[in-house]
Amino acid sequence: MSTHTGGYYLPAASHWPVVGSFALLCAALGATLLIHDLSGGGWLLALGAAALLVMLVGWFGNVIRENQGGLYDARVDRSFRWGMSWFIFSEVMFFAAFFGALFYARVIAVPDLAGGEQVALLWPGYVGGWPTAGPGLEAAFTPMAAWGLPAINTLLLLSSGVTVTWAHWGLKRGRRGQLLLGLALTVALGVAFLGLQAYEYRHAYVDLGLTLGAGVYGATFFLLTGFHGLHVSIGALMLMVILGRALAGHFKPDNHFAFEAVSWYWHFVDVVWLLLFVFVYWL
Amino acid sequence: MDAHATTADPLASTHHGAPRGLARWLTTTNHKDIGTLYLWFAAVMFLVGGLMAMLIRVELFEPGLQVVQPGLFNQLTTMHGLIMIFGVIMPAFTGFANWQVPLMIGAPDMAFPRMNNWSFWLLPVAGALLIGSLFLPGGAVAGGWTMYPPLYLQGGISYDLTIFAIHIMGASSIMGAINIATTILNMRAPGMTLMKMPLFVWTWLITAYLLIAVMPVLAGAVTMLLTDRNFGTHFFDAAGGGDPVMFQHIFWFFGHPEVYILILPAFGIISSVIPTFARKPLFGYASMVYATASIAILSFIVWGHHMFTVGMPAAAQLFFMYATLLIAVPTGVKVFNWVATMWRGSMTFETAMLFAVAFVCLFTIGGFSGLVLAMAPVDIQLQDTYYVVAHFHYVLVTGALFSIYAGIYYWLPKWTGHMVDETLGRWHFWLSAISVNVLFFPMHFLGLAGMPRRIPDYALQFADFNRIASLGGFVFGASQILLLWVILKCIRGGRRAEAKAWEGAEGLEWTVPSPAPYHTFAQPPEVK
């Protein structure tokens, strides 16, 4: 039922987008109700999440079938490349907002609170410095040390960048075993990273007193590492899908943009982590 | 004249088994359908936001509190701003992009037709969350469209709904922008090099880049509001080492490129309309492209001019002041080029051209008051007065909105297959152009005299100008009903439009029949 126009594949009418809109409507309403302890919020949020999942599976399933059916030409492939590049750029800017908040707090807000008339009139005795929970909170916390778990996590993610590239080489040279092993290792490293990150969060809350409420340090720490962790989770899911498709024999040495898109995304998540390691954990 | 006998049914060329009725619009992947949806969505939101503006002007008709209480007044100004920016101007421009970009570059459709559908259908969701919050306990958001903490941290449930509405609207904008950028970069017909693209396409490419760069920053900013409100973080709380001013920095890092998102496509529309009715090619095409790009780049380093009064080092004030004044150079290039295009042109004044010429004059007034406000010492006097309100309504109403009107009058023949009723159009133009100045020009005087914005009551000395502005506002509001009439009339019938509806029109969109068939450029045209 689709149109073939000058080679560029134009999909027919699709119900997946409105399913996605319905999902986000439910999720937004549900989350709002949940935040305000109103009844039905959890259920509505769960419904929204389920609908979103169904939509993603259905929509990407469509795309995969069309691709396998040979409907996409080189120009469609280029569209996907442009689209993914712009998407990753938008993700970079999303993280930029939170890194901006971190740098602003460290370079401008905290020194300002600890100097001049502010410290004399409003916060006597506040010395500032970093990390800090600010001048007005009772929260005592220990910051997360860089050279423990975070360093191991850095090693894990950097290795996963190597394994996914190794898998890509395998794919391009038609070595199926190398492709599958490389992808499986990448997934394993990603999951191991997430496990350690969960352990670190528990450690922060239980032993260190480092919580979301621990001033601007806790806020930037958890929002930056949390959104990064969310992206690693999404990336790991994408890698699993790619692994499944590799097992099904979907990729050819000269035609495998889905693989490349996921590996671009994975490298992006990697780079964000390096910045996190330097500016959140280390310096 | 029998219009229907010769008019091809735009649906006749759809595929067998394609959904009809409501399902067609819900599931469509056609750029023309989706463009139409965007434009009608903008029209409905314009009615909602416009009614709010009318209520505001009714309250300000005379001093004292008459019809709305201060709490509701604050909700009205906040919602009016959010709706007009995110619900009217941006969707209307995206509607133009959907209709025109594939037609102008000779592409069969947008690069991602399904995602195109989702970009649109997220907007009614965001709109419903935002407008629905009006009816919740405590009412809608009332802290201004800029959502500054700490005020924004203190509101009720509607504040969280608004945050989610902005997330969803942002996702819609980002997907729409990725789609448009990819379409322009990858779907051009053979021979359509970048420097042969119509200027409307260029301005949208640069707008898409701005959208992708700054909408995620807004998402980050409102996410921090969400966690500060509900999850105990202290981004914007000095007690925790945070800073409410930090929100303003992040917000305006989004906000200033956003105002160019609201005006660059307008430049593109005007650059299509003026050459057509001056019957001359656009003067200085290449300089227009470079000027647009310069404006976009500069937009990232001027955000501080929105915050001159919050306290910032003098060096920073000077930097933001000079960087802002610098934007006058590329903008001046544009105005010069439009005037030079008209110079010794063989001009006629169809309604589209009337709105375009009015745009050049009145947008320039808004640009000049922007220069006044860019100067830090002056801005410290004028911050948060009606002078600011006058400034941004000149650039957004007589600028962005008038360009949308020019675009509607210009491309309606292509969309509907019928010529516009020029007599009604002229009535619409003259009523709008006169009343809009009666509405907004006195606000300059009110601001210079010190009347603060976002206040439902005011001192007696402001009464006369407020009354004049309100009267202008009522006429302007009522005049827009004429536009609806013109559009409906044009859809239903009228003189048949040729493929090339205007004598002086150039470009690929005028090589396809009017109305444009459901699918165009299935085989890409050759561009010489």
- How confident is the model over B450-482, as pLDDT tens digits? 999 999 999 999 999 999 999 999 999 999 999
Q: Which residues of B touch A87 (CB under 8 A)?
A: 174, 178
Q: How far is A82 from chain B (nearest CA, A)?
A: 6
Long-range CB pairs of B114-117 (<8 Å, 24+ gap) are B114/A11, B114/A14, B114/A16, B114/A17, B114/A59, B114/A62, B114/B29, B115/A17, B115/B175, B115/B178, B115/B179, B116/B29, B116/B31, B116/B34, B116/B176, B116/B179, B117/A14, B117/A17, B117/A18, B117/B27, B117/B28, B117/B29, B117/B34
User: Would you call B213 and A82 a contact, using CB atoms and an 8 Å cutoff?
Assistant: no
Question: Among A90, A210, A228, which would you mutate to test the B interface (most chain B Cβ atoms within 10 Å of its Cβ)?
Answer: A90
Say if residue A3's pLDDT is above 60: no
Q: pLDDT tens digits for A83-107? A: 999 999 999 999 999 999 999 999 9
Q: Which residues of B touch A52 (CB under 8 A)?
A: none
Question: Does one domain contain both A51 and A124?
Answer: no
Work out the end-to-end distance of chain B between its first and last CA atoms, rounded to an integer number of angstroms. 38
Tell me how long chain A is: 283
Q: How far is A237 from chain B (nearest CA, A)?
A: 21
Of A5, A83, A105, the CB nearest to B241: A105
Q: Is A217 on the interface with B (CB under 8 A)?
A: yes
Structural domain includes residue A216: yes
C-beta of residue A208 within 8 angstroms of C-beta of residue A142: yes
Structural domain includes residue A4: no
CATH number of the domain bearing residue A256: 1.20.120.80
Cα angle at B256 between B234 and B95, to 5 degrees? 110
User: Would you call A216 and B241 a contact, using CB atoms and an 8 Å cutoff?
Assistant: yes
Structural domain includes residue A153: yes
SS3 content of chain A, % helix, strand, coil (to 5): 75, 5, 25
Is the peptide bond between B70 and the residue preceding it cis, with omega within 30 degrees of 0? no
Question: Does one domain contain both A244 and A195?
Answer: yes
Structural domain includes residue A3: no
Higher pLDDT, A119 or A48: A48
In angstroms, the CA B393 to CA B13 distance is 43
Q: What pLDDT band is residue A6 in, cutting at 50, 70 and 90?
A: low
Structural domain includes residue A263: yes
Q: Is B528 a catalytic residue?
A: no
In angstroms, the CA B206 to CA B197 distance is 13
Q: How far is A181 from chain B (nearest CA, A)?
A: 33
Question: Does one domain contain both A179 and A276?
Answer: yes
Interacting residues of A150 by C-beta distance below 8 A, sequence separation 6+ = A144, A200, A277, A281, A282
Give the nearest chain A residue to B518 (CA atoms). Answer: A3
User: Would you call B118 and A212 a contact, using CB atoms and an 8 Å cutoff?
Assistant: no
Of A10, A28, A134, the CB nearest to B241: A134
Q: Is B305 a catalytic residue?
A: yes
A194 closest CA partner among A161, A223, A152 = A152
Q: Which residues of A touch B118 (CB under 8 A)?
A: 16-17, 20-21
In angstroms, the CA B172 to CA B179 distance is 11
CATH number of the domain bearing residue A50: 1.10.287
Of A13, A134, A222, the CB nearest to B29: A13
* Domain locations in chain B as residue ranges: 33-510
Give the nearest chain A residue to B248 (CA atoms). Answer: A101
Q: Which residues of A touch B107 (CB under 8 A)?
A: 8
C-beta of residue B184 within 8 angstroms of C-beta of residue B201: yes
Q: pLDDT tens digits for A199-231? A: 999 999 999 999 999 999 999 999 999 999 999
A131 closest CA partner among A211, A216, A209 = A216
Q: Is A12 on the interface with B (CB under 8 A)?
A: yes
Interacting residues of A71 by C-beta distance below 8 A, sequence separation 6+ = A2, A4, A9
B258 closest CA partner among B146, B353, B138 = B146
Question: Does one domain contain both A189 and A60?
Answer: no
Question: Does one domain contain both A96 and A199?
Answer: yes
Tokens in use for B248?
Answer: 């303003």
Of A17, A86, A223, the CB nearest to B117: A17
C-beta of residue B353 within 8 angstroms of C-beta of residue B402: no
In angstroms, the CA A22 to CA A55 distance is 10
Number of Cβ pairs closer than 8 Å across A and B?
Answer: 236
Q: Is A103 on the interface with B (CB under 8 A)?
A: no
Would you say the C-alpha torsion B177, B178, B181, B187 has a positive or negative sign? negative
Domain that holds residue A39: 11-71
Q: pLDDT tens digits for B489-507? A: 999 999 999 999 999 999 9
Q: Is the ipTM of this complex over 0.90?
A: yes
Look up residue B117 and give its DSSP letter: H
Q: What was the pLDDT predicted at A117?
A: 80
Of B118, B165, B213, the CB nearest to A17: B118
Bridge partner residues of A3 (DSSP):
A10
Q: How far is B160 from chain A (nearest CA, A)?
A: 6
Interacting residues of A147 by C-beta distance below 8 A, sequence separation 6+ = none
Q: Is A199 on the interface with B (CB under 8 A)?
A: no
Q: Is B503 a catalytic residue?
A: no
Q: What was the pLDDT predicted at A119?
A: 82
Number of domains in chain A: 2
C-beta of residue B353 within 8 angstroms of C-beta of residue B274: yes
Say if residue A5's pLDDT is above 90: no
- What number of H helices and E strands is found in chain B? 18, 0
C-beta of residue A134 within 8 angstroms of C-beta of residue A215: yes
Long-range CB pairs of A75-79 (<8 Å, 24+ gap) are A75/A7, A75/A8, A75/B186, A75/B187, A76/A8, A76/A9, A77/A255, A77/A257, A78/B186, A79/B111, A79/B112, A79/B182, A79/B186, A79/B187
In angstroms, the CA A56 to CA A42 distance is 21
Question: Among A4, A9, A21, which would you mutate to test the B interface (most chain B Cβ atoms within 10 Å of its Cβ)?
Answer: A21
User: Would you call B240 and A87 a contact, using CB atoms and an 8 Å cutoff?
Assistant: no
Q: Is A129 on the interface with B (CB under 8 A)?
A: no
Bridge partner residues of A252 (DSSP):
A255
Q: What pLDDT band is residue A273 in, cutting at 50, 70 and 90?
A: very high
Q: Is B428 a catalytic residue?
A: no
Say which of B145, B209, B427, B485 is annotated catalytic.
B145
Q: pLDDT tens digits for B300-312? A: 999 999 999 998 9
Q: How many CA atoms lie within 13 A of B479 on its CB side?
A: 21
Q: At what angle do helices A16-35 and A41-68 cross, to 10 degrees?
A: 160
Tell me how long chain B is: 528
Count of C-beta atoms within a 10 Å radius of residue B7: 17
Q: How far is B32 from chain A (nearest CA, A)?
A: 13
| CATH number of this structure's domain B33-510 | 1.20.210.10
Interacting residues of B231 by C-beta distance below 8 A, sequence separation 6+ = A212
Low-confidence ranges of chain B (pLDDT < 70): 1-17
Q: Is A218 on the interface with B (CB under 8 A)?
A: yes
Q: Is A121 on the interface with B (CB under 8 A)?
A: no
The string over B472-498, giving b where at least 16 C-beta atoms fall within 10 Å of a residue's C-beta and e elsewhere, is bbbbbbebbebbeebbeebeeebebbe
In angstroms, the CA B171 to CA B165 distance is 10
Q: Which residues of A touch B184 (CB under 8 A)?
A: none
Bridge partner residues of A4 (DSSP):
A9
User: Would you call B17 and A24 a contact, using CB atoms and an 8 Å cutoff?
Assistant: no
Question: Does one domain contain both A278 and A248?
Answer: yes
Q: pLDDT tens digits for B331-350? A: 999 999 999 999 999 999 99
Question: Does one domain contain both A100 and A60?
Answer: no
Question: Does one domain contain both A110 and A49?
Answer: no
Q: Is A94 on the interface with B (CB under 8 A)?
A: yes
Question: Does one domain contain both A138 and A268?
Answer: yes
Say which of B305, B393, B428, B444 is annotated catalytic.
B305
- Among residues A71, A98, A114, the one where a domain terminates is A71
Question: Does one domain contain both A49 and A95?
Answer: no
User: Would you call B242 and A105 a contact, using CB atoms and an 8 Å cutoff?
Assistant: yes
CA torsion, ordered B270, B273, B274, B277, to nearest 10 deg: -170
In angstroms, the CA B247 to CA A102 distance is 12
Of B111, B221, B241, the CB nearest to A109: B241
Q: Is A96 on the interface with B (CB under 8 A)?
A: yes
Alpha helix (H) ranges present in B134-263?
A: 157-186, 199-230, 244-261
Q: Where are the beta strands (DSSP E) in chain A?
A: 3-5, 8-10
Question: Does one domain contain both A180 and A273?
Answer: yes
Question: Does one domain contain both A138 and A271?
Answer: yes
Q: At what angle do helices B386-395 and B422-448 cross, to 10 degrees?
A: 150
Tokens in use for B410?
Answer: 């210009």
Structural domain includes residue A90: yes
Distances (CA, A) of B394 to B50, B86, B279, B289, B369: 16, 18, 28, 24, 9
